Structure 1
Amino acid sequence: MNDTIYAPATGAGRAAVAVVRVSGPCAADAVRALAGDLPKPRRAALRRLVRDEVALDEALVLWFPGPASYTGEDAAEFHVHGGRAVVEGVLDALAAKGLRLAEPGEFTRRAFENGKLDLTQAEGVADLIDAETDAQRRQALGQLGGALSQRYDAWRGLLVQALAMLEAAVDFPDEELPEDVAARARPGLEALEAEIAAALVEASRGRRVRDGFRVALIGAPNAGKSTLLNALAERDAAIVTSTPGTTRDIIEVALTLGGYKTLLADTAGLRETEDAIEAEGVRRARAWAAEADLRLWVIDAAMFHVKQADEASAILPGDWAVINKIDLVDAYRLEELRAEFGARGLKVIELAARKPGGAEPARRALTAHVVDALSGAEFPAATRIRHAESLSEAQSYLQRALSDVSLEVELAAEDVRLAARALSRITGRIDPEDVLDRVFSSFCIGK
């Protein structure tokens, strides 16, 4: 980190204002070269930016001497007019002074390496930038504020306390210590193992808030899946025709339901087919449906026959049966279908998707379901897969330690130490380089 980096911190394209960031030991020299002198720390000052006696722009310049900056290094920002020629002129001037264009996420990586953020907070920065819904914003802001860090640090503190007891029993067997000093570590370890187990049970909630709740529309050809998708999306996202097999690939639409991101997927009609392209669409439909959080089995009320329902094999307990085209059948037929799907343990939704407002029963039910699945009083203990992987690893070490604590104290102590290390990897206290690369590679250039 001996070099000085620069990058645009705002998106490309024409805008009223663009921000160019600089961080590193030569940041002050870069400001003096372009703006003439350094503004007062953390005070915006209007400066004329000049390169080789040629004016580049009238800009606001901010100076952040380290360590009181985002990266912990000397840093500066140039708030210039957002025209492409202006931004490129400033970037070229910085490059001519020997500064290096930043890599994706390098500013935040430097903040991490200088102790300004831990890894979970750095991930919160990335999630906040990508947030599309209010729920994603709240979760990312909480993570940036240290909600995850505080929980992991508290758990790590409990492990250190238990480890102290175990190591005392190992290292000082002849000292006047209580005979049950090692056993005293057990209650704390048991309580922590239970907390981590509970966290793993609900770990998917944080990831689904971040990535979206996945809903698959499945069913036979011409059941009305594409019509329902378009009605819920309130636009023509999928082609609707009377020809069976029109939808051959996955069509995903992002919705916001109850403040939460929801990914709705229209899939190929599930049926046996000799058409190679349609068969591939059916395979992809089954694969997407298998990974979804909820499957809506869309049924043509007028055409459904139990013995012909091959699509039932893709349905799992807790899924829904959406009886479509109810305007084409009588009350007796509807009651027959309700009984059939109720006996299968499926939640039944009845609608006529092609009618104006016909999809509202599905929208209301989906909104309530997504809110119930993703809302929670507590901040989730894991918002990414790597968090859950490390929690699972820590849990396995704790379980092994609990089995050894009464017999092989040395082994139990080592397992507790490994569990603490697994938790530390989440916040980045002792993270290997490849984990850092994995975290920061998803960032945009100027962050």
Structure 2
Amino acid sequence: MAEQEDIAGETIAAVSTPPGRGGIGIVRLSGPHALAISNALLALRNPLEHAMARFAEIRDPETGGKLDEAIATYFAKPRSYTGEDLVEIAAHGSPVVLDLLLRWALQQGARLARPGEFTERAFLSGRLDLTQAEAVRDLIDAQTLYQARTAAEQMGGAISRRIQPAKEKLVELISLLEAGIDFAEDDVDLTPDEEIGTRIDAVGAELAGLARSFERGRIVHSGLTLAIVGRPNVGKSSLFNRLVERERAIVTAIPGTTRDLVTERVSLGGIPLELVDTAGLRTTADEAEAMGIAKSREALADADIVLVVLEAGIPPSEEEAELLASLHGRRFLAVYNKIDLEDSSSGQGHAEEQSIRTSAATGAGIEALREALLNMVRTPGGESESGMLTNLRQHEAVKSALDALGDARAATANGTPHEMILLDLYSALRQLDSLTGETTADDILNRIFSTFCIGK
């Protein structure tokens, strides 16, 4: 506790905009002396007031002349991002000016902020829970608009709101058991085991739905990898270029042109999708091509989705048939390319259940291919689902809470004393606390005394 108080007593400062030149650059200060230090740095026309932007001049420390103009905004504690006094100085984005402001702030008694320390202080002051703090990082790292929207929902407490009903039910159950144990002399009845089991099941059902959201949330957060594989000269690189909408991979009529993995990241329905164009799969004596083929097989093994490109009008070879068979149980799509060159007298050849017919040369079938891929990246829950678990820590916490509830349910069915059942219930509560914030003993006692007229 003493260490936290020492941290709170320090004022921190940092440049809060990316390195380099820009139209605007921001220096941020947070802590008990943020206001005083800012007043020393700036020539203000009007005093800084909470949530009011003020025009200011930055003076040259050597000549006293005006060096730059800035807008300073002050947020008084606790109504700031960090829960402390916070000042943001928005000057022109000159690295020289921003560095000067930061050095002046440090000379006035501020300390250089550690990476992530502003958000850490927001968490320590109770302005954010851990899921909201993680969402700040996710928003910064977002590569698609859908990722940004999801992170914004998480920053607004979407996960906490989704967990809260289950947590309320769990705290209520804990309060019932505690009251029955501690206040038996006040005629508070023990909760029947059947009711305990029913209440545990209700909490578990809500958390199970949240745990299932991780399948979708993981994909939204991290994206998927799609490997484009097939024998040489079936049009893999041409399809790759069509999907990324530019000439990214070299295309020639010479088999074996692609000898290394070519990757590009695109957005498909808001999901980041890393496309991997691979070397044609075949037996070769060329050492460089053989190394590329080995990398292709590694990419094939690691990919979340596999696009197997075949030539329309030509039955799959034995090697291609084996490749398709090896993908059973995985997400894959067979693409019959070069339909523009297909001989109508030859028929359409072998057709897979999951297959699309395309022409990378003319663009025919490309939109159908995109739609088929979009259907493959969709998961149960849909894009409108709010409060998805987006990282492994969150999923493990909910899973551990479910495991503890399962233990409590089994103990109840076996007639275990309520004192022992409470151990499992508190274990589940601790896991949920790691996501939404701590439940204190006072929270439990307040629930007990507000529910039962004890000691009246």
In structure 2, what residue type is equivalent to 1:10? Answer: T
Q: Deviations over 1:302-337 (max 9, x none)?
A: 555342224222453553211112223334655431
- 1:404, distance to aligned residue in structure 2 (A): 0.5
Distance 1:188 1:377, change over 3 A: farther
Superposed CA deviations along residues 391-426 of structure 1, whole A, max 9, x for unmatched, are 111111111111101321333221111111111112
Select the residue among 283, 286, 307 that pairs with 2:300. Answer: 286
Question: Contact 2:238–2:251 at 8 Å: present in 1 too?
Answer: yes
- For normalisation by structure 1, the TM-score amounts to 0.85
> 1:328 — aligned with what?
341
Q: Is the 8 A contact 2:312 2:349 kept in 1?
A: no
The match for 2:266 is 255
> Does 2:196 match 1:185?
yes
1:166 alignment partner in structure 2: 177
- Aligned counterpart for 2:366 among listed residues 359, 375, 385: 359
Q: Are 1:416 and 2:428 counterparts?
A: no
CA-to-aligned-CA distance 1:3-28 (integer Å, 9 cap, x gap): 22111222222222211111112212
Q: Does 1:381 find its partner at 2:394?
A: no
Query: Over residues 323-375 of structure 1, what are the superposed CA-to-partner deviations in whole Å (9 max), with x where a residue is unaligned?
Result: 1122233346554312xx23xxxx11001112245533312333455467673
Alpha-carbon deviations, 1:133-162, whole Å to 9, x = none?
Answer: 232222112111111111222222111112
Alignment partners' CA distance in 1, 2:112 and 2:31 = 12
Q: Assess, with a 3 A threshold, how the Cα gap between structure 1 residues 42 and 225 changes in structure 2: closer, same or farther.
A: same
Q: How far apart, in 2, do the equivalents of 1:77 and 1:85 lie?
A: 17
Identity %: 37
Is 1:132 the equivalent of 2:139? no
Residue in 1 that maps onto 2:404: 397
Rounded to whole Å, the distance in 2 between the matches of 1:351 and 1:306 is 19
Q: 1:372 to 1:393 in 2, by over 3 A?
A: closer
Is 1:10 matched up with 2:17?
yes
Which structure 2 segments of 5+ residues have no match? 1-6, 440-456
Q: Secondary structure at the match of 2:217?
A: helix
CA distance, structure 2, for counterparts of residue 180 and residue 429 of structure 1: 25
Pair 391,415 (structure 1): closer, same or farther in 2 beyond 3 Å: same
Kindly report structure 1 stretches of 4+ aligned residues shifted beyond 6 Å: none
Task: State how 1:47-196 maps to structure 2 within 5 Å.
Answer: 47-50=56-59, 52-53=61-62, 54=64, 55-171=66-182, 176-178=187-189, 180-196=191-207
Which structure has the larger Rg over C-alpha atoms? Answer: 2
Larger displacement relative to structure 2 (32-41 or 80-89):
32-41
Task: Give the CA deviation at 1:213.
Answer: 4.0
CA RMSD of aligned residues (A): 2.7
Letter in 2 for 1:45: R
Cα drift, residue 96 of structure 1: 2.6
Q: Which of residues 434, 445, 449 is equivalent to 1:425? A: 434
What SS does the corresponding residue of 1:184 show, helix, strand or coil? helix
Q: Residue 254 of structure 1: SS of its match in structure 2?
A: strand
Q: 1:418 to 1:373 in 2, by over 3 A?
A: closer
Who is 1:436 aligned against? none
Q: Which AA in structure 2 matches 1:48?
A: E
Query: What letter corresponds to residue 63 of structure 1 in structure 2?
Result: Y
Letter in 2 for 1:421: R
Higher relative contact order, chain-length normalized (CA < 8 Å, sep 6+): 1
Q: 1:179 to 1:33 in 2, by over 3 A?
A: closer
The residue type equivalent to 1:44 in the other structure is A
How far apart in 2 are the matches of 1:95 and 1:48? 19
Q: Deviations over 1:260-308 (max 9, x none)?
A: 433322234445667462354034213322xx1x322211235553422
Give the aligned partner of residue 451 of structure 2: none
Is the 1:297–1:315 contact (alpha carbons within 8 Å) kept by the matching residues of 2?
no
Distance 1:429 1:221 in 2: 59
**Kept in 1: contact 2:356–2:365 (CA 8 A):** no
Alignment check: 8 A CA contact 2:336 2:356 kept? yes
CA contact (8 A) 1:218 1:297 kept: yes
TM-score, length of structure 2 as denominator length:
0.83
- Among 311, 323, 341, the alignment partner of 2:323 is 311
Q: Cα distance, 1:175 vs. partner?
A: 6.2
Contact 1:286 1:314 (C-alpha < 8 Å) held by counterparts: no
CA contact (8 A) 1:215 1:263 kept: yes
Q: 1: distance between equivalents of 2:170 and 2:106?
A: 49
Give the letter aligned to residue 245 of structure 2: E
CA contact (8 A) 2:42 2:58 kept: yes
Answer whether contact 2:261 2:292 (CA < 8 A) is retained: no
Distance of aligned partners of 1:225 and 1:22 in 2 relative to their CA distance in 1, 3 Å threshold: same
- Preserved CA contact (<8 Å) 1:214 1:262: yes
For residues 380 and 153 of structure 1, do their structure 2 counterparts lie closer, same or farther at Cα, with a shift above 3 Å needed? closer
8 Å Cα contact 1:268-1:285 kept in structure 2:
no
- Give ranges in structure 1 of 5+ residues lacking alignment: 431-447
Farther off after superposition, 20-29 or 129-138 = 129-138
Equivalent of 2:277 in 266, 289, 293: 266
Local SS of the residue matching 2:427: helix
Render the CA deviation track for 1:199-232: whole Å, top value 9, x for unaligned: 3233121222222244332333333222111111
Aligned residues: 421
Give the equivalent residue in structure 2 for 1:34.
41
Residue 213 of structure 2 is matched in structure 1 by 202
Q: Tell me, yes or no, if the aligned pair for 1:200 and 1:391 is still in contact at 8 Å.
A: yes
Distance of 2:158 and 2:266 partners within structure 1? 27
